[in-house]
């Protein structure tokens, strides 16, 4: 469960097929059409239990007064606050988020509202959470697209690559691959190493 502390133009979207919504749901292991939260101006929430969340889009996200990166899965500990400040729009995916108004495409969040979602029971693989992120090269490629039209045309192909990459990385972790960081010419890269 989580509580909406303060919301300004924040909505639950159900049955949304936007690329950013799909990425958020993928990172927290939801079905693609699970509800997500779209934040246009501001949202502050407090977790009632240990939750798995992901954020995509453009803006700033603060977890208990510390800025955290976008485009990845994060564990939200009990009683922590998460504040989203979009510059355009931010999408928030929450593992198991459910909405009693599933038939509505758009539902405006209200202050004090409590949302139902899946609490983590301690059986989550931290390696799986760490690998649940969008690769920087594909993210740069997506973010440099200009305008709605180009994001609609070329963006869908990039999002398909992102989805494929994240799925393959998660499958590798399940098979026992280990995440390592390697420094090459001063640049740190992440790689999954798997025994054959």
Residue scoring higher pLDDT (167 or 125): 167
pLDDT of 94 higher than 70:
yes
CA dihedral sign, ordered 135, 136, 139, 145: negative
pLDDT of 126 higher than 70:
no
Of the options 3.40.50, 2.60.120, 1.10.1760, 2.60.40, the CATH number for the domain spanning 2-120: 2.60.120
Mean pLDDT of the chain: 86
pLDDT of res. 81:
97
pLDDT of res. 133:
82
Residue 158 Cα distances to 19, 138, 151, 195, angstroms: 9, 7, 9, 29
The torsion defined by the Cα of 133, 138, 139 and 142, in degrees rounded to 10, comes to -140
Q: What is the pTM of this model?
A: 0.84
Residue range 150-172, pLDDT digits in tens: 777 777 788 888 888 888 887 88
pLDDT of res. 111:
96
pLDDT of 109 higher than 70:
yes
| Whole-angstrom Cα Rg for the chain | 17
pLDDT of 191 higher than 90:
no
Predicted confidence band of residue 101 (pLDDT cuts 50, 70, 90):
low
**Any idea where the domains of the chain sit in the sequence?**
2-120, 136-193
Which contacts (CB < 8 Å, 24+ apart) does range 97-102 have?
A: 97/12, 97/30, 97/34, 97/35, 97/36, 97/37, 98/35, 99/12, 99/14, 99/35, 101/12, 101/14, 102/14, 102/15, 102/35
């Amino acid at each position: 469960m989580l509580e909406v502390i303060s919301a300004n133009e924040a909505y639950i979207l159900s049955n949304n097929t936007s690329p950013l919504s799909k990425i958020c749901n993928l990172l927290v292991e939801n079905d693609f059409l699970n509800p997500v939260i779209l934040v246009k101006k501001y949202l502050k929430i407090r977790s009632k239990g240990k939750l798995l969340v992901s954020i995509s889009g453009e803006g700033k996200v603060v977890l208990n007064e510390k800025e955290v990166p976008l485009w990845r899965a994060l564990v939200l500990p009990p009683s922590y606050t998460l504040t989203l400040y979009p510059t355009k729009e931010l999408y928030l995916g929450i593992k198991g988020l459910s909405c009693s108004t599933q038939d509505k495409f758009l539902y405006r969040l209200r202050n004090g509202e409590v949302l139902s979602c899946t609490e983590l029971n301690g059986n989550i693989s931290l390696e799986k959470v760490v690998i649940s992120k969008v690769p920087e090269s594909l993210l740069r490629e997506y973010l440099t697209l200009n305008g709605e039209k180009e994001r609609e045309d070329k963006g869908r192909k990039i999002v398909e690559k992102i989805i494929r990459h994240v799925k393959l990385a998660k499958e590798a972790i399940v098979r026992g691959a280990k995440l390592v960081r390697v420094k090459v010419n001063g640049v740190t890269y992440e790689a999954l190493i798997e025994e054959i």
